[in-house]
Amino acid sequence: MDVYHMKRKIAVAKGDGIGPEIMDAVLRIFDAAGVPLEYQFVEMGKSIFDLGHSTGMTSAAREAVEDLGILFKGPMETPKGSGVKSINVTARKVWNTYANKRVFRSLEGVNTVYSQAGIPIDMIIVRENIEDTYGGIEHMLTPDVALCRRFITRPGSLQVHRYAFEMARRNGRKKVTCGHKANIMKMTDGLFLETFYEVAKDYPEIVANDVIVDDLAMKLVVRPHEFDVVVLPNLQGDIISDLCAGLVGGLGFAPSANVGDNISIFEAVHGTAPDIMGQKLANPTALYMSGLMMLRHLGLKSYADDLEEALFKTLSDGIHTRDFGAKGSFARNTDEFADAIIARLSHPGHDTPAAVAPRPRPAQNKVMEERRPTQMVIVGADFFLESNQQPSEIADRFIAQLETGMQLVTMSNRGTQVWPVGSIYTECINQFRLRLEWSDPEGTTQQEILRMAGKIAGQFKICSVEWLMAYDGKKAYSLAQGQ
């Protein structure tokens, strides 16, 4: 096989702002190192939104990424106020890159509070990348009340935990920590935590523990060297990983991989830096390090090792762009920084890419289902109603609509019980949740709940209705605060 045919073709989107400057610099270094990759440049980002493509990518770009399975991308701008969704989030979700991996390591030549104190940092954050509030499913229930739905699913959580443990095992990592808020969100974060320990059982050689996310934030700042791999739900992972970027020198040193079973996306954590675009001031390190993650993902370890060593030598020789390095020392521009890395390449790589063949497309969407209870009972429903009346008045009007075998068990406002008992000091907004339960142990039916909803709609503005389920006799809903 000649060398050309051993190249792995990947999709590359240069991105907006500083994107083209840093991508050109990175690809120039890869080419100088003889990395066996072939690039198919695709159109994504601001210019494509401006042309009227609401997803921010052309259909040719979508086809190319789906065929090639790898997207190496620069940062992209989401037009503000136009109602379009972020191309970065869309790409991660549409292609099911369920795990976001970010590596944080102290780098010689990059001064931080921790490097000066002699505290080495070497950890990996794995953030769930699809679910949580990032579903972006939001509604104004009343003109005063916004609601965002937060999805945490069993299959989605198992997928990301499995990825975290497999990755830890492959890399000889010793500990995986789950960050969560299961003390407050017992259903959602509770499910994330429960599935974490289910998966952990299959990796007895790896220590598994969990930390509540607020405590985690404090511990990461005070004792960052005690963490190895940390896995988190999407939003908490977003915040914690930026905190970790700060620990190792800022966004200029934060690479990331969005990993899925079919498609993976490699990108820097930072944005398009419009304040410095076009001036060749940008630091290409985060994109470069994301590229190294991509090379390792593709089985090109020897190339990644060589390129990484050249970066480390460059940094430890004190060579830097404007955003870091010794104050008063000469800062290189993006291209000069890339040249310095090229000059330090020393051990040419030798691996061949893991997969060169075109990827077969799945014939249909994968539907993931992990658990089917033997008994599922609808025990009642939560009615979310708009009203500015007092709780007792609302309760009286609601109860007047009920029939034999139905009971109003609690009413809450912003999650705090205000009826049958509550505090006069609980301030209410104009949206109440009324919990209606059926006394029959067999529960009720969807039709019955909808019939009651029709009846109640004659009296109140219904904002939404949520079923109360019991799976195998276990309540599948939370209690109100104070219930």
21 binds ligand NAI (CB under 6 A): no
246 binds ligand NAI (CB under 6 A): no
User: In this chain, which stretch among 29-37, 119-127, 183-191, 271-279 interacts with ligand NAI, using CB under 6 A?
Assistant: 271-279
Given strand 255-259, what is the order of strands in its sheet? 37-41, 8-13, 70-73, 264-268, 255-259, 99-105, 122-128, 229-232, 175-180, 207-212
14 binds ligand NAI (CB under 6 A): no
Mark residues 387-426: x for contact with ligand NAI by CB under 6 A, - for none.
Answer: ----------------------------------------
- Which class for 333: exposed (0-12), middle (13-18), buried (19 or more C-beta within 10 A)? middle
270 touches 75 (CB < 8 A) = yes
Report, in Å, the least distance between residue 333 CB and ligand NAI. 11
How many C-beta atoms surround the C-beta of residue 215 within 10 A? 10
How many C-beta atoms surround the C-beta of residue 342 within 10 A? 16
Q: 462: which DSSP letter?
A: E
The correct pick among 25, 282, 408, 470 for binding ligand NAI (CB under 6 A) is 282
Q: Which of 29, 17, 6 is nearest to 290 (CA)?
A: 29
Nearer residue to ligand NAI within complex by CB, 76 or 164: 76
76 touches 15 (CB < 8 A) = yes
The correct pick among 153, 272, 314, 410 for binding ligand NAI (CB under 6 A) is 272
Report, in Å, the least distance between residue 63 CB and ligand NAI. 21
How far from 8 is each of 36, 38, 311, 463, CA to CA, in Å? 6, 6, 23, 53
Report, in Å, the least distance between residue 340 CB and ligand NAI. 16
The correct pick among 273, 395, 434, 463 for binding ligand NAI (CB under 6 A) is 273
Rounded Cα gap, residues 341 and 337, in angstroms: 7
Nearer residue to ligand NAI within complex by CB, 284 or 391: 284
User: In this chain, which stretch among 183-191, 274-282, 291-299, 445-453 interacts with ligand NAI, using CB under 6 A?
Assistant: 274-282
The correct pick among 252, 291, 380, 391 for binding ligand NAI (CB under 6 A) is 252
The correct pick among 124, 130, 245, 276 for binding ligand NAI (CB under 6 A) is 276
Nearer residue to ligand NAI within complex by CB, 26 or 286: 286
In sequence order, what are the residues at sequence separation of 6 or more whose Cβ sits closer than 8 angstroms to the Cβ of residue 363? none
Nearer residue to ligand NAI within complex by CB, 161 or 270: 270
Rounded Cα gap, residues 291 and 285, in angstroms: 10
Nearer residue to ligand NAI within complex by CB, 90 or 412: 90
What is the DSSP code string of 299-355? T-HHHHHHHHHHHHHHHHTT---TTSSSTTSPPP-HHHHHHHHHHT--S------S-
78 binds ligand NAI (CB under 6 A): yes
Report, in Å, the least distance between residue 13 CB and ligand NAI. 10
Give the residue closest to ligand NAI by C-beta. 271
In sequence order, what are the residues at sequence separation of 6 or more whose Cβ sits closer than 8 angstroms to the Cβ of residue 83? none
Token pair belonging to 315:
């940094």
In the window 306-345, what residues touch ligand NAI (CB under 6 A)? 323
Report, in Å, the least distance between residue 295 CB and ligand NAI. 20
Report, in Å, the least distance between residue 358 CB and ligand NAI. 27
At residue 26's C-alpha, the angle toward residues 25 and 27, to 5°, is: 95
75 binds ligand NAI (CB under 6 A): yes
Mark residues 122-161: x for contact with ligand NAI by CB under 6 A, - for none.
Answer: ----------------------------------------
Rounded Cα gap, residues 202 and 205, in angstroms: 9
408 touches 432 (CB < 8 A) = no
The correct pick among 21, 42, 64, 88 for binding ligand NAI (CB under 6 A) is 88
Report, in Å, the least distance between residue 214 CB and ligand NAI. 24
Binding site for ligand NAI (CB under 6 A): 18, 75-78, 88, 251-252, 267, 270-276, 282-283, 286, 323
